Amino acid sequence: MGYIPIGIADVIEASAEARGISLLQLSKKSGLSYSGVLRKIRYRSRRINVDDLCAFADALEVQPSELVKQAESRAAAEAQKPNGYAIQDKQSGVVILQASHGSIYDEDIQS
């Protein structure tokens, strides 16, 4: 495992909730401090390293690779979501109006 994907904290938190494990219990089971778990999982203000990932996986009784796969799947699903909106005529299927979340100003586009 070469990297920790973005969104891993969401997966760990969801896995703990699904198992009925509070963050305090996760802290005790993982051997990490409660404040560290809060910063990494709840507030996402600290990076999760490989050792943390393994500790969380052990506490949740899953393989670290399973948590990574779930995070990657979530990221892929998120990337597939449309980036805007369209108003479409029901009968003909013609798109009448289309808008995206992006800026209309060229200077806001980052290269």
- pTM comes to 0.71
> Which one, of 10, 29, 18, lies nearest residue 75 by Cα?
10
44 contact partners, CB below 8 Å, separation of at least 6? 9
Instruction: Report the residue count for the chain.
Output: 111
Per-residue pLDDT of the chain (111 residues; tens, 9 = 90+): 556 778 999 999 999 999 999 999 999 999 999 999 999 999 988 899 999 999 999 999 999 999 999 998 888 777 666 677 677 777 777 777 777 665 555 454 554
What pLDDT, on a 0 to 100 scale, did the predictor assign at position 101? 63
